[in-house]
A and B are shown apart, each in its own frame.
Chain A
Amino acid sequence: MDQQVNTTMLLEVNHCGQAYPKDSNNELIVLDDVNVSLRSGEIVGLLGRSGSGKSTLLRIIAGLLRPTRGEVLWQGKPVRGPVRGVSMVFQSFALFPWLSVQENVELGLEAQGVPRAVRESRAEDAIDLIGLGGYESAYPKELSGGMRQRVGLARALVTHPDLLLMDEPFSALDVLTAETLRTDLIDLWSERKLPVQSILMVTHNIEEAVLMCDRILVFSSDPGRVAHEMTVPFAHPRNRLAPDFRQMVDDIYAVMTRRKTPAELRTQPAQAATGFATPLHPIGTNLMSGLLETLAADPYQGKADLPALAAALQYEADELLPLGETLQLLRFADLEEGDIKLTEQGKNFVHADTDARKKLFAESLRAHVPLVAAIRQVIDERWNHRASAVRFRDELEDRMSPERAEETLRTVIAWGLPLKFMR
């Protein structure tokens, strides 16, 4: 490990929280009492599932969003807005389609009023560093995804920031492109060619975090908080196949699927208990039965190790975990310490024929998804068996962000479609 002896404290996040103040006495907590500190010379990963508030935290640190509680100190001073010294790389690249590569890269320097000659030479340096030489006059839409994210990186690096923030920078890229870009970035970092002191990245990819970061903060969802912190002791370049590396990935899976202890549940706000507003993942019924069948068959025989299963199905943790959670919600499977296990009900489902499966699924929905029961009740009360979707969406929006409310409602409608044929 090539860590500096004298590291300085760059960033401190003190008791930060973010809540949706839908109405003041029933707020939705997105981020709950988060403490993070960041020193120079380290790459820190914020790892968690979608909806765990890690992107929200990144935006608070970037000064784009005001935390509802707590504060962020940047080099000892409180953050009150976008800070000079902090640059951001976006998941969607956020390139301006009407500006050429060169103009996109120069953007941050223009904002600082850097004179033209200096601007141009610094932009060229950044473009060369990141491997984009020769593409200066191209437009983003003429580039592949990987090249676009290189532009995003060059644009963030050109201002020589102290801290580089990366919001799932590789998740919009295909597997091979993402790997090349990760390796290139780590090489530049190890050779100390990156004009930054520290990197903070958000990711949902466990292997990516173990591959790149020196320290990983694992987030739990609902509400988002730092559930676990671990140091990655391996030197760069790291080998994904090394037993230590695999063990660490396994450990993180275990942390991310760990059931909440009763003590943890008790400290949580009342929102979780209502049930009606449990956010649902948009997962199709075909996918569910596909996973149940896979689990029941060889070689798993009803129980599988999640990292192994993810690798075999070519899924990322982010895709597999919501699927497993949904099966758990419907009592078809159990998640525990990095494993997924079929329940009795799950086994019954696998062995049933199509009509019986529909019946089992419907029963499970009514019993375990309160939102389904609630909608069902309202619809049955109406003479025409109709109810306005807006009404339920509004109710959900009191307890979650509008996007998740919309997603949850869409999911429950898609799940409920077969129900109407079997009242």
Chain B
Amino acid sequence: MSSIAPPALIHGRRLPNAWDAAAIVVVLAILIGIANVAQGTLAPLASVQATAIHLNPAYLPGYALRTTLRMFAALLASLIFTFTVATLAAKSRRAAIIVIPMLDILQSVPILGFLSFTVLFFLHLFPGQELGAELAAVFAIFTSQAWNMAFSFYQSLTTEPADLDEACRSFGLSPWQRFWRLDVPFAVPGLVWNTMLSMSGGWFFVVAAEAITVGNTTFTLPGIGSYVAVALRKSDLLAVFYAVIAMLVVILLYDQLLFRPLVAWSGKFRFETVQTAAGTEPWVLKLLRRTFLFRQIGGWIGDQFAVIGRMRMGRAERTFRTVGPSGPSSRFGDAIFYVLVAAGAATALWRIILFCAAHLHWSDLLTCIELAFFTLLRVIAALAISCLIWVPIGVWVGLRPKATKLVQPVAQFLAAFPANLLFPVMVAGIVAFKLAPNIWLTPLMVLGTQWYILFNVVAGASALPGDLKEAAANFGLRGILWWRRLVIPGILPYFVTGALTATGAAWNASIVAEVASWGKVTLVANGLGAYIAEATAAGATSKIVLGVAVMSAFVLSFNRLIWRPLYAYASRRTNLG
């Protein structure tokens, strides 16, 4: 199984530094800027007619197709973003100083809270057209996947083996040739894995982004998400059921047709010098590789790409590389650059102060922090419970190769399924049994994210070295001792990876999970997610910005203070050799 940790964990620095502070300020200012633009356009947009959504299941395949197309449009945009921005950051020291902390911060911002603004922003760009709403949905998905893909690519670019770099330079490959011969292939395994995680998050966003209510206006795009939204309003459980089935089919197809083959194919690019036992070939890949027709077509397409990759665009770097500090001219450039960055950050800070002074009061901040603690409590409780359930199960499964083979794909599949489609079912239950929303809305947050814990623990347990297991059995380690000395240290890095992904996603999910409605009944739990959701419904820009900022701060400090040190400890202590 893959042991590629999410970029948020590997990144070296632990405590925030000056660049982080600058990045936080700039990101906040950008959010405020978007909010301001969006706010000004609220009125004229009422004229956009909402597309009618039919609950007849016959429409579902069409809706599913449109949802999927949005996903892939966003994926394409994310790839382009990744290739350009991450490359820029890796090749230019100055760009890296700005881009990397920004990506790090953006990874932790719950963009879901900003969905309404991005929708309004794009509707404003293309007034009266569906294109605006489409772009907004695509952008929402883009924001959920681009950052960690770019981060992963950047990480690969900066850890390229020195000898391959020297080979490229001494043979005189042009930057374009080098990009396709070294940079991209070396990054493929990490990139594919991160794309897969991004896509899982993306389904959640596309469902949420298709039906957006701001103030009194609802914007709908034909798709599975809006279908569910309408079903929700009409309390049509059967329609929700149809939508879940449709989504299952879509994810199954995407999983089987695209990602299984892609992951298997990416094994070719793993940087290792010994041949590892190849896993079973997914049937699609088998079909492509073994069928004459497909092989010819695939070969032809591959050749065309290779021709593009071989083109000598740009000139080979025919210069030395120096060791040590740079010359006086670049120091002068640095000085100008730092002044510019400082000026930018100062301007951003000033904008934030102006904005806060105009719209917010200290008490708002206190309210937000208080609510954030409620949500934090909820996240921790939900996570703890799902760990208690899934860690033993995951270990049990991981130690049995046959069970692993069965469970692992299912867990990954479930992680990709947008859990928000299942919310209505749960909410209907809560309404029917008159349960307390403060407690019973909590499980919704980890409904979709618990699978990350499961499949990472399974991967960790199945990677436990056989000789250690035998030694443990030989010395009679049993019960608690067996867990403490063998299993827990062995799975810790994997567990941290899963738990980090799960918590991040749980915070994000709180925005849609703490407020749930079923027909005319609306359930609200006390928390920051509900605060943001209600502010969105009311069109209260400043409150949304504040809520999102506080939530980002919580996610960020959670990652920096708990997960990253824990992961560093785990990978240091439990690495053999």
Contacts and interface: CB of A to CB of B under 8 A. Distances in A.
Interface string B162-197: 011011011111100100011001001000000000
Contact of A64 (B164, B316, B320): B320
B273 interface: yes
Contacts of A96: 164, 167, 181-182, 185
A404 B330 CA distance: 29
Given A20-B323, A98-B269, A108 B171 contact: yes
Q: Which of B173, B275, B323 has the most CB of A within 10 A?
A: B323
B321 interface: yes
Contacts of B325: 21
Contacts of B177: 110-111
Report the contact-size class of chain B (Cβ under 8 Å from the partner): 35 or more
A90 B275 contact: no
A94 B171 contact: no
A281 interface: no
A65 B320 contact: yes
A230 to B, nearest CB: 29
Interface string B373-410: 00000000000000000000000000000000000000
A356 B172 CA distance: 60
A97 B269 contact: yes
Given A88-B170, A96-B181, A63 B320 contact: yes
B54 interface: no
A94 B164 contact: yes
B310 interface: yes
A120 B181 CA distance: 18
B364 interface: no
Contact of B320 (A66, A139, A159): A66
A62 interface: yes
B318 interface: yes
Nearest to B185: A98
A99 B184 CA distance: 13
Interface string A86-97: 111011111011
Interface residues of A, number: 38
Contacts of B164: 94, 96
Contact of B163 (A68, A90, A107, A141): A90
B158 to A, nearest CB: 16
Nearest to A23: B325
B274 interface: yes
A94 B163 contact: yes
Contacts of B268: 98, 139
Nearest to A112: B172
A82 B174 CA distance: 12
B269 A82 contact: no
A99 to B, nearest CB: 7
Given A66-B320, A98-B188, A141-B275, 18 more contacts: A20-B324, A64-B320, A66-B321, A66-B322, A81-B318, A81-B319, A82-B170, A84-B172, A88-B166, A96-B167, A97-B270, A98-B185, A107-B167, A110-B177, A110-B310, A111-B173, A140-B273, A141-B274
Interface of A: 18, 20-22, 59, 62-66, 68, 80-82, 84, 86-88, 90-94, 96-99, 107-108, 110-113, 139-142, 159
Q: Which 5 A-B pairs have the closest CB atoms?
A: A66-B320, A94-B163, A81-B318, A21-B324, A108-B171
